[in-house]
């Protein structure tokens, strides 16, 4: 549902965008009532199930939604847009650009942002598992006989969901908004009914009840906070999907429907438990009369699938951004919509996520067990977002230091409390998303550092392109009456493919284009800035093609723009020469030897340049070269 430019979504109707935002942005946080209240009163938290603690717990949930989601994300974070885009990597690029004159700080912020991005993958594995498991556990209330089928039904739904990814979300996406609107209306309506039975629960709207609940727990408060944070999972989606829908639709959807519905449902669950404490076995489904449990189960399953779809699509988008920012090797990307460039499918990411999701479902087996693993990655991401926002507010917006500190320090304290609450669940499953994120961070930082070392080696051992062209004898080699495009990472050195062509074929082409593709740390590059062309003489041209990290690279299409700069690149008279580097790890390099081997392995298995840059396969010549690092 991503458009090709940050301005395009704004041309659509506000109502349509708001409806779409409800479906995509709020699917994750919208399924939190399936398991949050039950986890707050689980045995390991030690919270007594009585009226006073019910009021306090619901009050803590409500004010967490108000402070963290409404005040932090809806009011503050949504203002930190990177040319209309949001999300971890977009914010990282924005913060890094704000401190461009301080290289050390910039590098630290880049690494911090990348670590935050890796934590998202843990969320992408756990969210589908816990959402669908939480929905399927309603089978136990339909009839206890179905309890053994909860996990198999969950796995069947998840496998089907991942198998459908190859077809894209264009058709299914049209139903996201209406289904989730119905879901939120049902959440609110059931909540209102039970509130009317126990209006005392409305005292939970008083923030003092939340304070009394938390302060009265002593050191056990962290166990309660670790459960309360489940109500906030999905908050990052508000910011991550800003480029898809715009700030206003997301804000309108939250304040007009999502927040009231969630608040009413949590109040309703509290009212239900005040009247019937035995409903704690599954307070969400016990909100419904017995005859309505099965329809509620179907609706909850659809909502869980939509929540899962949102994070799966987000994982594709995050991976594509990471590739184009230079943190991951090229991977296969399929565009599943001719009109919506953001609808992509990445087979490698898809199957890796499916394996991870199946593993956690089989390992944990229930939403309660998975709740122990859920939260720590989300809260750490929230904290990293707050830190990065400070640098945007202070250095990007040039606000005074006291204002910048005041705008972010309060939220940083909240984030620290949430992280601490989830950290106590480390050995019960919280280690999983951290281990996954750390492993991916090692991979991403190794790739980025390896590429830097590779470029340094090429520059050190290569020939200067300017000196080569200036010293070239125009009559020294026969000229083929075609155009040769040499794709290079370093535009200052002679392409290895060109040297190989001269050595083996003893020929130069009539026109030689030294092509460099650059990805800027901004989401979109307008067409008027897409191509720069410099004539070097002797039939050589230097062309730079610029993309943002949200653009879809298409080199042949970009080269058509060179005609307006005096360089014609005929489609059927052009050959593309690529240098395929074989990385050779060497002792005493810039990385540990095991990291050099890891980088060499990733380089060897990186996706092809041809598909990634949409080059015509029948016009490509690849020549290999060995590069030590």
| Residue 362 structural domain | 8-429
| Residue 425 sits in the same domain as residue 461 | no
| Residue 376 sits in the same domain as residue 502 | no
| Residue 324 sits in the same domain as residue 465 | no
The distance in angstroms from the start CA to the end CA of the chain is 41
| Residue 219 sits in the same domain as residue 102 | yes
- Does any domain span residue 443? no
pLDDT of residue 399: 84
Look up residue 549 and give its two tokens. Answer: 């990290």
pLDDT of residue 523: 78
Q: Over range 61-72, report the average pLDDT.
A: 95
Looking at every residue in the chain, the average pLDDT score rounds to 86
| pLDDT tens per residue, range 118-172 | 888 887 888 889 889 988 988 888 778 888 899 999 999 999 989 888 876 555 5
What Å distances lie between residue 382 and 69, 225, 281, 332, 450, CA to CA? 10, 15, 30, 30, 29
pLDDT of residue 279: 93
Q: Over range 64-69, report the average pLDDT.
A: 95
Query: Residue 200: is its pLDDT beyond 80?
Result: yes
H or E stretch covering 159: helix 150-163
| Residue 349 sits in the same domain as residue 468 | no
Contact 72, 254 (CB under 8 A): no
Q: Using CB atoms within 10 A of its CB, is residue 605 exposed (0-12), middle (13-18) or buried (19+)?
A: exposed
- Does any domain span residue 296? yes
pLDDT of residue 173: 55
Which residue has 């230097």 as its token pair?
542
pLDDT of residue 168: 66
pTM of the model: 0.80
- Does any domain span residue 230? yes
- Does any domain span residue 445? no
Query: Residue 68: is its pLDDT beyond 90?
Result: yes
CATH code at position 290: 1.20.1740
- Does any domain span residue 136? yes
| Residue 215 sits in the same domain as residue 312 | yes
Query: Residue 4: is its pLDDT beyond 70?
Result: no
What count of other Cβ atoms lies within 10 Å of the Cβ of residue 462?
A: 19
Q: Over range 394-406, report the average pLDDT.
A: 86
Identity of the highest mean pLDDT range in 6-10, 206-210, 507-511, 595-599: 206-210
- Does any domain span residue 262? yes
pLDDT of residue 11: 43
Domain end call among 412, 429, 446 = 429
| Residue 207 sits in the same domain as residue 352 | yes
Q: How confident is the model at residue 1 (pLDDT cuts 50, 70, 90)?
A: very low
| Residue 554 sits in the same domain as residue 410 | no
| Residue 491 sits in the same domain as residue 405 | no
Identity of the highest mean pLDDT range in 181-185, 298-302, 306-310, 575-579: 181-185
pLDDT of residue 587: 74
What Å distances lie between residue 29 and 122, 184, 190, 258, 272, CA to CA? 16, 11, 18, 9, 21
Q: Over range 265-282, report the average pLDDT.
A: 95
| pLDDT tens per residue, range 219-265 | 888 989 999 999 998 888 788 777 767 889 889 999 999 999 999 99
- Does any domain span residue 436? no
Q: Which of 56, 425, 65, 46 is nearest to 214 (CA)?
A: 56
- Does any domain span residue 2? no
Q: Which residues contact 25 (CB under 8 A, 6 or more apart)?
A: 237, 238, 241, 244, 245, 250, 253, 310
pLDDT of residue 172: 52
pLDDT of residue 585: 81
| Residue 75 sits in the same domain as residue 174 | yes
Q: Over range 545-561, report the average pLDDT.
A: 89
Query: How many domains does one find in the chain?
Result: 2
Q: Over range 81-89, report the average pLDDT.
A: 75
Q: Which of 523, 535, 619, 536 is nearest to 573 (CA)?
A: 619
| Residue 490 sits in the same domain as residue 536 | yes
Query: Residue 341: is its pLDDT beyond 60?
Result: no
Higher pLDDT, 310 or 35: 35
pLDDT of residue 7: 37
| pLDDT tens per residue, range 589-624 | 678 888 988 998 988 888 778 888 989 988 898 877
pLDDT of residue 283: 95
| Residue 244 sits in the same domain as residue 310 | yes
């Amino acid at each position: 549902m991503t458009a090709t430019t940050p301005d395009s979504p704004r041309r659509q109707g506000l109502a349509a965008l708001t409806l779409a935002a409800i479906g995509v942005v709020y699917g994750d946080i919208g399924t939190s009532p399936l398991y949050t209240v039950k986890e707050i009163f689980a045995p390991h938290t030690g919270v007594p199930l009585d009226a006073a603690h019910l009021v306090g717990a619901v009050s803590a949930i409500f004010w967490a939604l108000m402070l963290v989601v409404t005040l932090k994300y809806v009011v503050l974070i949504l203002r930190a847009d990177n040319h209309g885009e949001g999300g971890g990597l977009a914010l990282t690029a924005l913060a890094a650009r704000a401190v461009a004159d301080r290289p050390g700080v910039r590098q630290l912020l880049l690494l911090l942002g990348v670590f935050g991005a890796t934590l998202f993958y843990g969320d992408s594995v756990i969210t589908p598992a816990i959402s669908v498991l939480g929905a399927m556990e309603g089978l136990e209330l339909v009839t206890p006989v179905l309890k053994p089928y909860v996990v198999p039904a969950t796995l069947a739904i998840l496998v089907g969901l991942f198998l459908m990814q190859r077809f894209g979300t264009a058709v299914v996406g049209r139903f996201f908004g209406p289904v989730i609107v119905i879901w939120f209306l049902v959440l609110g309506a059931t909540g209102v009914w039970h509130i009317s039975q126990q209006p005392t629960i409305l005292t939970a709207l008083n923030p003092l009840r939340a304070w009394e609940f938390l302060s009265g727990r002593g050191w056990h408060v962290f166990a309660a906070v670790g459960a309360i944070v489940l109500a906030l999972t999905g908050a990052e989606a508000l910011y991550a999907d800003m480029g898809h829908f715009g700030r206003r639709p997301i804000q309108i959807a939250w304040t007009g429907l999502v927040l009231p519905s969630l608040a009413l449902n949590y109040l309703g669950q509290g009212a239900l438990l005040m009247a019937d404490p035995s409903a704690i076995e599954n307070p969400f489904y016990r909100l419904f009369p017995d005859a309505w449990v099965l329809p509620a189960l179907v609706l909850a399953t659809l909502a869980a699938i939509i929540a899962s779809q949102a994070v799966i699509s987000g994982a594709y988008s995050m991976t594509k951004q990471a590739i184009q920012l230079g943190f991951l090797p090229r991977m296969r990307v399929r565009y599943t919509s001719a009109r919506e460039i953001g609808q992509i499918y990445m087979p490698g990411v898809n199957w890796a996520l499916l394996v991870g999701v199946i593993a956690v479902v089989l390992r944990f087996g229930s939403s309660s067990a998975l709740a122990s693993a859920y939260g720590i990655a989300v809260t750490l991401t929230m904290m990293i977002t707050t830190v990065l926002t400070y640098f945007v507010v202070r250095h990007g917006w040039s606000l005074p230091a006291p204002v910048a500190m005041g705008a972010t320090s309060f939220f940083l304290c909240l984030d620290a409390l949430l992280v601490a609450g989830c950290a106590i669940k480390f050995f019960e499953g919280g280690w999983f998303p951290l281990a996954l994120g750390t492993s991916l961070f090692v991979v991403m930082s190794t790739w980025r550092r390896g590429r830097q070392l590779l470029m340094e080696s090429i520059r050190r051992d290569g020939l200067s392109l300017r000196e080569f062209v200036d010293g070239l004898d125009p009559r020294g080699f026969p000229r083929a009456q075609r155009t040769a495009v040499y794709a290079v990472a370093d535009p200052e050195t002679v392409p290895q493919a060109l040297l190989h062509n001269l050595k083996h074929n003893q020929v130069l082409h009539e026109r030689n284009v030294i092509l460099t593709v650059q990805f800027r740390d901004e989401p979109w590059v307008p067409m008027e800035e897409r191509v720069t062309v410099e004539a070097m003489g002797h039939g050589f041209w230097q062309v730079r093609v610029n993309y943002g990290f949200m653009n879809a690279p298409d080199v042949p299409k970009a080269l058509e723009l060179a005609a307006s700069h005096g360089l014609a690149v005929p489609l059927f008279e052009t050959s593309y020469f690529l240098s395929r580097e074989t990385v050779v790890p060497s002792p005493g390099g810039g990385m540990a030897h095991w990291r050099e081997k890891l980088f060499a392995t990733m380089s060897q298995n990186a996706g092809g340049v041809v598909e990634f840059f949409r080059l015509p396969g029948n016009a490509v010549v690849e020549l290999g070269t060995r590069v030590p690092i």
